[in-house]
A = this chain, B = another copy of it.
């Protein structure tokens, strides 16, 4: 298997660099005329992949909306991950996991392991327990040719409380960016990516030298604009993977309406 970065490069060259969020929240199920059950969840989430799986490069299923229906919902997430793979697209499982030691190892095996049904091509991680606590996931991403995206600067206003606090070497977010860049220089796969929200007028951190993939949520309903991202990310723009969720999904469930909406999120 090629590395995550190579697969990402290949698929975005063919399909463009958009990531579509699979966010089957209650109001989406209702607007699609589906029941608020695991069955409604399955029809919505798999319907998104049915409609867009062969035209969109990357999907980001949000774990919370599956866990909402317990283990049955998590079983639907497994099917969605398999559907995405079968359609030739990539999946980033948005789980925001973070823990220590053997617990972190278990999360890493669950979301990055070669034979785990919950493992997509990449997973999101949360660094409240310190960047170094995520090392078991970094090691497995590198070993298994998968990717991780570490939360750095999130799209919501409350995030500044933690992310812009000052650590020993600079802000928390800058320490995380720099540590991830450093790790990518030592591993051939550049498997370590970042999550940096696209809603900010200024990022308040420097990602210009970052050498991995940058997932950028917050485009569309949350207020970020695709056309602002090249200026916002400057030299790092080539590494940006913009993510759009609700703005596209609300056009469904009609497949052609979903595909038409995706086309409006393509930069000329």
Contacts and interface: CB of A to CB of B under 8 A. Distances in A.
Contact of A126 (B64, B77, B128): B128
Instruction: Bin the interface of chain A by size.
Output: 35 or more
A71 interface: yes
Given A25-B102, A70-B110, A129 B97 contact: no
Nearest to A111: B67
A162 B75 contact: no
A62 interface: yes
Contacts of A65: 103, 106
- Interface-central residue, A72, A98, A128, A154, by most chain B CB under 10 Å: A128
B64 A74 contact: no
A217 to B, nearest CB: 9
A158 B129 contact: yes
A68 B130 contact: no
Nearest to A164: B167
Number of copies of chain A assembled together: 2
A145 interface: no
Interface string A68-88: 101110110110000000000
The secondary-structure label for the interface of chain A is helix
B103 A62 contact: yes
Contact of A70 (B26, B64, B116, B130): B116
Contacts of A155: 100
A151 interface: yes
A165 interface: yes
Interface string A158-186: 11111111111001100100000000000
26 contacts: A23-B103, A25-B102, A25-B106, A62-B103, A62-B106, A65-B106, A67-B111, A70-B78, A70-B116, A71-B71, A71-B78, A74-B74, A96-B128, A100-B154, A100-B158, A126-B126, A128-B128, A128-B151, A129-B159, A130-B156, A130-B159, A132-B158, A133-B159, A161-B168, A162-B165, A172-B172
Given A25-B103, A64-B104, A67-B110, 13 more contacts: A23-B103, A68-B109, A70-B110, A128-B162, A129-B162, A130-B156, A131-B158, A131-B161, A132-B158, A132-B161, A133-B159, A161-B167, A164-B167
